[in-house]
Structure 1
């Protein structure tokens, strides 16, 4: 390397992409001290501060962090690359796919413009790589580094704890919160529903909708709001049955959070979850990708709560050290 590697975090630290970018920096820094970190809430004057000695700057990118619309986000990211005036590599998150609906084309245009300008491109699953090739640009090669697991073993709660079904992650349309609650219709009304974390900005109404549907079922509904990392781990342990019924995921930090806490969530069989199950056997409980299969999986999990915990002998892959080494190898190549 001709100089240190810079890591630029853009957006609020509570955002999942920003949190993961911090985790990647921590993992790479554990492999080599030759890395620098800068963080800004929004782009503007002084962004380059602290990065001017870097041979390469790495940025984690999703369109929603850089503009209200994909075209605005494109202009913002390209202006950033020009201001940095050095090679810039990216990790792309939330790849465009048909489930985006009418927004898909504009989102694909954004990711194409970013990838064509970047020195190197990373995605977080082979499924994302296939989405990139099909909907963004098949002529640009991407590197795959799967999302890391920061495994923290927690104590199982006592059998007298309140019975619940939990969904982890920010509340937004398509994440599966409402569908999971509706799939609980055959369960005893004493079993509560818990949404771990807060609604995404602009989707606060979803919390009210969950409460309304739960009330009609005679069921408790809790939306926890913001949780610190330690609070999230404790809350993840307290849920009786963890579920992740996000049917159009391309990579999932929420599923990783369940697994990192030692939980074995119920997930639909999709290209991404099949890939994850093959890479880390024993960390997921799979069901068919439909509402009826989810209902059956919930019933089976309550009949056997031990199935919702990962065997202590299982080590999810990749670890933070694996991810740190993989990034370090790419950064050395791209900054040579």
Structure 2
């Protein structure tokens, strides 16, 4: 019998990757009590206590959580792995791809260095596995464990709720906020734009850009700021038309959040959304991957608001129990 499995969360608890790491820990703890959780907001104070007895430590990793640049993040993660002095496995998030532009090569070096230092590697979609093999290191085998879905809870708002188009998640260029607002240009100005989230550090100006564009349209623009899980679920239910127009996603917690609130978001057809739709039919409304198709999809959704809600017979996959069992199996194998 090996020792307990450690789960080390690094970064602010509000960050999507950190929140997901906690969800995975909760799920795997249902399968076995022999798991330990530690959290560090930053790595500045050294490695978190509470992991000394663990046979293996699992960490959810993306470069932006560990340093201002990919190279700084690489050095920080490798130092953390060395300081833990035990096997470390990782779940990699936000794999590098050509849409990263000039940052792509530095991000590839980060992910390659971390993966080569890890005992085991998990990614969150087959699409991410293909990105890893093509751009990071085809010689390393990765395990695919799709992002878990919380239990779907449908709380439809009253008919008096204001009409809105909403985008969920951190605000940053490429997430689709600007494109979605611009796609609303022909809609009645009484239809508001909602951004369910807060700007990513360094992109606070995006909120000002959205407000100006909406004002020029004579349209309301609401940016909620950070929302707790319960607040996010309620806000997701109140949006009339949910949109996830991030065309370069490799896996998407934002889409999962829409679905867990019972919503069927409008999404562009990509390798990842095709994969998700095949695994969980009935949870997405897909359109072609361009701005004109998004505009048409939004108009169609307003004509048929029922299409933005998931049918009660649909169960998205994987569930928390599925993900908990898979992590228990993989982490035990890597800790042996």
Question: TM-score, normalised on structure 2?
Answer: 0.99
Task: Flag the 1:78–1:155 CA change in 2: closer, same or farther, 3 A.
Answer: same
Q: Establish whether residue 268 from structure 1 lines up as the match of residue 268 from structure 2.
A: yes
Q: In structure 1, how many angstroms separate the alpha carbons of the residues matched to 2:19 and 2:155?
A: 25
Check conservation: 1:48, 1:83, Cα contact below 8 A: no
Check conservation: 2:39, 2:48, Cα contact below 8 A: no
Q: In structure 1, how many angstroms separate the alpha carbons of the residues matched to 2:248 and 2:124?
A: 15
Which residue pairs with 1:12 in the alignment? Answer: 12
Q: CA deviation at 1:332?
A: 1.2
Q: CA deviation at 1:45?
A: 3.9
Per-residue Cα deviation, 1:71-110 (whole angstroms, up to 9, x for no partner): 1111100101110000000000010000000000000000
Q: In structure 2, how many angstroms separate the alpha carbons of the residues matched to 1:78 and 1:195?
A: 36
Structure 1 segment 238-257 matched on structure 2, within 5 A = 238-257=238-257
Q: CA deviation at 1:158?
A: 1.8
Q: CA deviation at 1:237?
A: 0.4
Which residue pairs with 1:51 in the alignment? Answer: 51
Q: CA deviation at 1:48?
A: 4.4
Which residue pairs with 1:80 in the alignment? Answer: 80
Which residue pairs with 2:201 in the alignment? Answer: 201
Which residue pairs with 1:69 in the alignment? Answer: 69
Q: In structure 2, how many angstroms separate the alpha carbons of the residues matched to 1:292 and 1:12?
A: 37
Q: In structure 1, how many angstroms separate the alpha carbons of the residues matched to 2:152 and 2:266?
A: 19
SS in 2 for 1:254: helix
Q: CA deviation at 1:121?
A: 0.1
Q: Establish whether residue 186 from structure 1 lines up as the match of residue 186 from structure 2.
A: yes
Gaps of at least 5 residues in structure 2 are none
Which residue pairs with 1:111 in the alignment? Answer: 111
Deviates more, 1:41-50 or 1:167-176: 41-50
Structure 1 segment 282-321 matched on structure 2, within 5 A = 282-321=282-321
Check conservation: 2:6, 2:51, Cα contact below 8 A: yes
Q: CA deviation at 1:44?
A: 3.5
Q: In structure 1, how many angstroms separate the alpha carbons of the residues matched to 2:45 and 2:166?
A: 42
Q: CA deviation at 1:53?
A: 0.5
Which residue pairs with 1:331 in the alignment? Answer: 331
Q: In structure 1, how many angstroms separate the alpha carbons of the residues matched to 2:42 and 2:274?
A: 36
Which residue pairs with 1:122 in the alignment? Answer: 122
Question: Which 4+ stretches in 1 moved above 2 angstroms?
Answer: none
Which residue pairs with 1:214 in the alignment? Answer: 214
Check conservation: 1:166, 1:194, Cα contact below 8 A: yes
Q: CA deviation at 1:20?
A: 0.3
Instruction: Give the CA RMSD over aligned residues.
Output: 0.8
Question: TM-score, normalised on structure 1?
Answer: 0.99
Q: CA deviation at 1:153?
A: 1.3
Q: In structure 2, how many angstroms separate the alpha carbons of the residues matched to 1:328 and 1:71?
A: 32
Check conservation: 1:145, 1:326, Cα contact below 8 A: yes
Check conservation: 2:40, 2:48, Cα contact below 8 A: no
Q: In structure 1, how many angstroms separate the alpha carbons of the residues matched to 2:291 and 2:70?
A: 32
SS in 2 for 1:245: coil
Gaps of at least 5 residues in structure 1 are none
Check conservation: 2:7, 2:37, Cα contact below 8 A: yes
SS in 2 for 1:37: strand
Check conservation: 1:151, 1:262, Cα contact below 8 A: no
Per-residue Cα deviation, 1:161-218 (whole angstroms, up to 9, x for no partner): 1000000001001000000000011211110000001111111100000000011111
Q: In structure 1, how many angstroms separate the alpha carbons of the residues matched to 2:179 and 2:22?
A: 32
Q: CA deviation at 1:46?
A: 4.6
Per-residue Cα deviation, 1:25-61 (whole angstroms, up to 9, x for no partner): 0000010000000000111445141101000000000
